[in-house]
Homo-oligomer: A and B are copies of this chain.
Amino acid sequence: MTTHEILVRAKAASPLAATLTTDQKNHALCVMADTLVAHTADILAANAADVEAARGTLSEVMIDRLALTEQRIADMADGIRQVAALPDPVGRVLEHIDTETGLHIDKVSVPMGVTAMIYESRPNVTSDAAVLAFKSGNACVLRGGKEAFRSSQAITTALRAGLRECGLCEDLIQLVQDTSRASATELMTAVGLVDLLIPRGGAGLIRACVENATVNCIETGTGICHVYVDAEADPDKALKVIENAKTSRPSVCNAAEVCLVHKAIAPSFLPKLKERLCDNRTVSPVELRLDPRAAAIIDGTAAGERDFDTEFLDYILAVKVVDDVNEAIAHIRAHSTGHSEAIVTENTAISSVFTAAVDSAAVYVNTSTRFTDGGVFGLGCEIGISTQKLHARGPMGLRELNTYKYIIHSDGCVR
């Protein structure tokens, strides 16, 4: 089927998706979890073919992301059952107004319509994205990377078998059959057919979507996160926060990339930072990239021109000495991607200035940036982390896949 045909079918199926009851959706999700497990052999065979084809062209790390096991498929099915257990975001009455003139106005949450997702080589995203779209009342069109195409196809087939078993239209969950660049462009520009596009992957993919999309597109993911150590920081807390934010999982978007240090504390703090992140770590020591003022205090690599604007996703930390909280705020406003930033200080007046003036989705006080996550923030699940300000900001769960409409009843009111 062509991508255009898939989109037209999704749009036609979207009113059905919007009017399914909570019980219908939850039952279908549980059935889909079962059919996914029942298709384990098919999925593993397809995945083995993907992995075989990828050998030599993808790195070992990427092949590990691509490879599925029986356990990973069981985990995907458990993920689906967890989504079934979450509250239904559709049909919530967000506000109710009765006017003196006899109008009864409900502001009600409703699905977007058709959500499209462009992603890369992790096949489990196929299942995650499909079930989050389904639970939130949307028809979905998935366009995965070509390295995982056979796996994504097998997973989609299993999920659609579940829909069929429940007597539901299979067009609610569809995989684009063409993995060329043209199909991605087609999704980005399908005005009238795609209500929401969510790219999920590296910075290049997200930039391509944001720049080329004429449909509604959510900018997700890229995180140049900062930790600012104030003059009145507790040094032990600061070390603990920075070590965690930088080293607990450096490949993710909520990991810290830059440390800003107040000049008053820098002479005593920076040697401790070097000891904690470099000298004391036998495995994966952190490379420090230092601005001139930091380099005057400790040894390390001299920071290059781009080091304060790079998402390293690695054991690398850029370090800069600043005059005060205002310089820290100005630096963050100029260099941040708007994801997550932290201040370490015992002075609540200073932390209030920081949380008010820093213009990012999540602003932390004495806390690691690693907590920016749909589960931690009470959303129950996550389809991505928005770094933009319209519609949704920060972790996006089921509610963020909805919009709202106003429904107004009266007995013949005119104006």
Contacts and interface: CB of A to CB of B under 8 A. Distances in A.
A107 to B, nearest CB: 8
Interface residues of A, number: 66
A296 interface: no
Interface string A239-265: 011011100100000000000000000
Contact of A403 (B15, B367, B389, B408): B389
Contacts of A226: none
Interface string A361-389: 11111111011100011100000000011
Interface of A: 15, 18-19, 95, 97, 99, 103, 105, 107, 110, 112-113, 195-196, 211, 214, 216, 234, 237, 240-241, 243-245, 248, 329, 333, 351, 355-357, 359-368, 370-372, 376-378, 388-391, 393-394, 403-415
B103 A408 contact: no
23 contacts: A18-B357, A19-B356, A19-B357, A95-B378, A103-B367, A107-B377, A112-B389, A196-B390, A216-B388, A216-B389, A237-B412, A240-B412, A243-B414, A244-B414, A351-B409, A361-B405, A362-B406, A364-B410, A365-B407, A367-B410, A368-B414, A371-B413, A390-B391
A355 to B, nearest CB: 5
A405 B363 contact: yes
A248 B18 CA distance: 34
A367 B234 CA distance: 62
A415 B365 contact: no
Contacts of A361: 405-406
Contacts of A95: 378
Contacts of A15: 329, 333, 357, 359
A360 B407 CA distance: 10
B359 A412 contact: no
Nearest to A110: B359
Contacts of A360: 405
Given A15-B357, A365-B408, A97 B377 contact: yes
Nearest to A97: B378
A358 to B, nearest CB: 8
A112 B393 CA distance: 11
A411 B196 contact: no
A97 B407 CA distance: 31
Contact of A18 (B356, B362, B363): B356
A371 B405 contact: no
